[in-house]
């Protein structure tokens, strides 16, 4: 029930945490539904919202030729911009919850898939497949290679986290940053000794971008995101206990080591699949959980859905910026998120020192 709190003799309506959470989720979902057609309309070629709705309805009804919109605009909207916007939403939501998961299990609010080397491991796998080995598993080769690289980075981080010399979460974060540099150096070396003609394709994974998003590419990231989200949602009570401390979690019957490894693998799986389709888009997993904590607090039960909603909304509009700031060229989206995330990271460090 709403709470009435007197202030200066006047009653003020205050929402309970659950009511505020539901309100924010509802507002975020509505903003996403409004942002998708608006984002689709923006770009080198401006398209009216009415035409977008006509194209969507025509394709959903199976009468694409009867939409009354020129074929060129139909192709731009249906084949390019709608898949790209949906991929931006899925990627933003996925990276946000992956970052939240890593921050929770390391008990370090500066943790992020990019900073801990998981994204760099996925890039390494993608570079090796693109430049050297080729698609030996068909269309699944790239996601498998990216996941293998992410799993390698996750395994190293997990080993380091169990070391008796790893005194704090800050040391773990520093180790992750160092591992990220090492893996990126190996990826750059593999690129240097490989075929120069494939170098332009690899730039996509190193800088991040959504320009290759198509309908065929949406299914795997969406399914993996849903599976990982459900897995994390089912374990929010245990994650909350781990945030208090491993001893407290163990006293509640939680197998901390096994759960931490499962959460690491879930983060690696989600990050690697997204990196395989969009490249290394950094710092989304760092920024969005912090913004979510400002609104709903640190309870993972509320923070997980809010992070997904805010992450999807954030990357939709970052993608719009990447398409328009240097139009008709696409600015790699990783450049924008890296710039914003770097400033955000510095602000967090300054706040921590204060």
Average pLDDT over residues 7-31: 78
Q: Average pLDDT in the 159-185 region? A: 74
What proportion of the chain, given as a percentage, has pLDDT over 70? 88
What is the per-residue pLDDT for 262?
Answer: 87
Residue in 87, 2, 145 with CA at minimum distance from that of residue 333: 87
pLDDT at residue 23, as a whole number: 92
Please give the Cα distance from 255 to 299 (Å, whole number): 20
Helix axes 333-353, 199-207, angle to 10 degrees: 40
Higher pLDDT, 195 or 74: 74
**Amino acid 28: pLDDT:** 93
User: Which residue, 214, 241, 235, 216, is CA-closest to 298?
Assistant: 241
* Dihedral (CA of 22, 27, 30, 35) sign: negative
- Assign 284 a pLDDT band (cuts: 50, 70, 90): very high
Nearest-angstrom CA–CA distance, 108 and 100: 10
* Pair 306, 288: CB distance under 8 Å: no
Give yes or no for a contact between 283 and 338, defined as CB atoms under 8 angstroms apart: yes
Q: What is the mean pLDDT of residues 41-66?
A: 80
Binning pLDDT at 50, 70 and 90, where does residue 67 land?
low
In this predicted structure, the answer to whether residue 204 has a pLDDT above a threshold of 70 is: no
Task: Report how far apart, in Å, the C-alpha atoms of 109 and of each of 18, 103, 208, 265, 289 are.
Answer: 23, 5, 23, 19, 9
Q: Mean pLDDT over residues 229-251, rounded?
A: 89
**CA-CA distances (angstroms) from residue 215 to 6, 105, 141, 336?**
54, 34, 18, 25
| pLDDT tens-place string over residues 315-331 | 999 999 998 888 778 88
Where are the chain's structural domains?
Answer: 48-353
Q: In the numeric block, which tokens belong to residue 260?
A: 């931490």
pLDDT of residue 54: 84
Residue 67: phi, psi to the nearest 5? -75, -20
pLDDT single digits (tens) 96-126: 999 999 888 888 787 888 878 888 888 888 8
Mean of the pLDDT values across residues 294-300?
90
Span 210-217, average pLDDT = 84
Q: Check whether 167 has a pLDDT greater than 50.
A: no
Place of tokens 């989206």: 333
Distances from the Cα of 2 to the Cαs of 8, 13, 22, 213, in angstroms? 19, 6, 13, 44
Quote the pLDDT of residue 89: 95
Question: The pTM is what?
Answer: 0.86
Residues 145 and 136: beta-carbon distance below 8 Å: no
Using alpha carbons only, give the angle 287, 290, 292 rounded to the nearest 5 degrees: 110
Rg (CA), the chain: 22
Q: How confident is the model at residue 291 (pLDDT cuts 50, 70, 90)?
A: very high
CATH for 48-353 (1.10.600.10, 3.40.640.10, 1.10.3470.10, 1.10.10.10): 1.10.3470.10
Best mean pLDDT range from 57-66, 222-231, 257-266: 222-231
Q: Which residues contact 154 (CB under 8 A, 6 or more apart)?
A: 118, 121, 264, 265, 267, 268
């Amino acid at each position: 029930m709403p709470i009435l709190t007197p202030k200066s003799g006047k009653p003020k309506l205050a929402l309970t945490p659950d009511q505020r959470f539901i309100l924010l989720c509802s507002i975020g979902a509505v903003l996403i539904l409004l942002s998708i057609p608006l984002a689709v309309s923006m770009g080198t070629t401006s398209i009216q919202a009415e035409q977008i709705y006509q194209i969507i309805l025509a394709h959903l009804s199976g009468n694409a030729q009867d939409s009354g919109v020129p074929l060129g605009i139909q192709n731009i909207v249906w084949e390019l911009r709608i898949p790209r916007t949906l991929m931006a939403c899925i990627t933003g939501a996925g990276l946000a919850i992956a970052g939240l998961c890593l921050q929770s299990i390391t008990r370090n609010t500066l943790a992020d898939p990019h900073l801990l080397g998981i994204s760099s491991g996925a890039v390494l796998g993608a570079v090796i497949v693109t430049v050297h080995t080729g698609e030996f598993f068909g269309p699944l080769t790239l996601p498998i290679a990216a996941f293998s690289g992410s799993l390698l980075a996750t395994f190293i981080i997990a080993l380091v986290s169990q070391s008796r010399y790893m005194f704090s979460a800050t040391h773990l974060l520093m180790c992750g940053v160092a591992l990220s540099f090492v893996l990126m150096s190996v990826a750059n070396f593999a690129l240097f000794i490989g075929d120069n003609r494939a170098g332009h394709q690899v730039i996509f994974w190193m800088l991040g971008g959504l320009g290759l998003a198509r309908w065929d590419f949406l299914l795997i990231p969406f399914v993996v995101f849903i599976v990982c989200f459900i897995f994390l949602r089912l374990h929010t009570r245990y994650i909350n206990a781990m945030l208090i401390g491993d001893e407290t979690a163990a006293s509640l019957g939680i197998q901390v080591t096994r759960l931490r490894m499962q959460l690491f693998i879930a983060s690696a799986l989600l990050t690697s699949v997204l990196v395989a389709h969009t490249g290394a888009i950094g710092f989304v997993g760092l920024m969005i959980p912090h913004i979510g904590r400002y609104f709903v607090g640190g309870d993972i039960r509320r923070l997980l859905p809010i992070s997904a909603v805010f992450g999807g909304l954030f990357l939709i509009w970052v993608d719009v910026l990447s398409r328009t700031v240097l139009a008709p060229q696409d600015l790699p989206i990783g450049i924008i998120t890296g710039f914003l995330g770097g400033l955000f990271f510095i602000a967090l460090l300054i706040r921590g020192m204060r």
